[in-house]
Amino acid sequence: MKNEKELLEKPDIIKVIGEHDEEIFMKLQEIVNVNDQDYALLSIVEEDTLPVDDEADDEIIIMKMVKKDDECTFEIIESDEEFNMVAQAITDDDEEE
């Protein structure tokens, strides 16, 4: 992958491993805190997309951030109730701005 090094040098670009062990580059758009739990708002970055377009209207993926020691992992939100609570908090935040 020709742009991996360049992508990972950007502080808001992360590499995650998908369900089928594929590498996926994601841009960290924002971190929101709901009920003392952090959630990451991420968008997928195409391998060949440089520079990353900050104005792109990409689909946002919400993932739970789990911190342990100095590492942070991203987990899928499995509960519909939890997902809806986070989505509502994000919507409420957007309406306040």
How does pLDDT run across 19-59, given as a tens digit for each residue? 889 888 888 888 899 999 999 999 988 765 545 555 555 68
Q: How far is CA 44 from CA 18, 37, 97, in A?
A: 12, 22, 25
Domain ranges of the chain: 4-96
Tell me how far apart the terminal alpha carbons of the chain are, to the nearest angstrom.
Answer: 39
Taking only the tens place, the pLDDT of each residue in 55-81 is 555 688 999 999 888 788 889 999 999
Is residue 22 helix, strand or coil?
coil
pTM over 0.75: no
Residue 85 confidence (pLDDT): 95
CA distances in angstroms from 21 to 17, 18, 68, 79, listed in the order given: 5, 5, 22, 23
